[in-house]
């Protein structure tokens, strides 16, 4: 499918594409690459799972003390990328990330000695919460990326891909077609 004109705004189109990816059974339809950068501008990237659009922001959950958490605390500018090969579509988001809320067992991204150490921590958490509800760990919660830039990419024949770039303009989006 190709588009003659840019869809009027990107978030609804992204959600339509996401629903389509899920409906068509695209593997890991909810997996997205999150890129952050440290204080020296050195980037790092990893996969996280999409948890929905909340007030126009793209959400994911993670450990606040992880490498990504530390980088975001220092530099909240980040990028997210979805790629659904089965649909031939990519969506890019760039913006500022905020924490929404404040794992017991996993000091994510800290060096650990062994799998046994991890299993011992899980066992300790199991004993701690025996017979009661597990509370959300204080260092694990939701992040929200408020998009300032969104790009929709649609694979086309003969490398004639469609690319639509959107920039935030107050409450509206300004879109333009980019050369592939
Ligand atoms: C398919 C997939 C989904 C993942 N989902 C998440 C997630 O939602 N949140 C998260 O913190 N890590 C998730 N991870 C693990 C991260 O990719 C990463 O290994 C971890 O968060 C530590 O990253 P960091 O050291 O850069 O902070 C996922 C990994 C894969 C392969």
Confidence band (pLDDT; 50, 70, 90) for 102?
very low
Which pLDDT does position 2 carry in this prediction? 57
**More reliable by pLDDT, 107 or 50:** 50
Residue of 36, 48, 64 to test ligand 1 pocket, by largest number of atoms within 8 Å of CB: 48
Nearest CA to ligand 1 atom 17: 47
pLDDT, mean over the chain: 90
How far is residue 23's CA from residue 15's CA, in Å, rounded to a whole number? 12
What is residue 135's predicted lDDT score, i.e. its pLDDT? 75
Taking residues 147-173, what's their average pLDDT? 93
What is the 26 CA–ligand 1 centroid distance (Å)? Answer: 19
**Burial (CB count within 10 angstroms: exposed 0-12, middle 13-18, buried 19+), residue 163:** middle
Q: Reduced to 3 states, what is the DSSP secondary structure of residue 40?
A: coil
The mean pLDDT of 39-61, rounded to a whole number, is: 96
């Amino acid at each position: 499918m190709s588009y003659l004109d840019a869809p009027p705004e990107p978030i609804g189109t992204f959600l339509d594409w996401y629903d389509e990816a899920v409906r068509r059974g695209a593997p890991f339809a909810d997996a997205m690459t999150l890129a952050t950068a440290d204080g020296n501008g050195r980037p790092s990237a990893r996969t996280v799972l999409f948890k929905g659009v909340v007030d126009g922001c793209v959400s994911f959950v993670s450990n606040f003390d992880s490498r990504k958490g530390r980088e975001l605390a220092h530099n909240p500018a980040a990028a997210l990328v979805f790629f659904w090969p089965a649909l031939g579509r990519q969506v890019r988001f760039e913006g500022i990330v905020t924490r929404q809320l404040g794992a017991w067992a996993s000091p994510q991204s800290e060096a650990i000695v062994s799998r046994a150490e991890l299993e011992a921590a899980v066992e300790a958490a199991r004993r701690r919460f025996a017979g009661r509800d597990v509370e959300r760990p204080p260092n694990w919660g939701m992040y929200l990326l408020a998009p300032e830039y969104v790009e929709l990419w649609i694979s086309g024949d003969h490398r004639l891909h469609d690319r639509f770039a959107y920039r935030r303009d107050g409450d509206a989006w300004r879109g333009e077609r980019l050369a592939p």
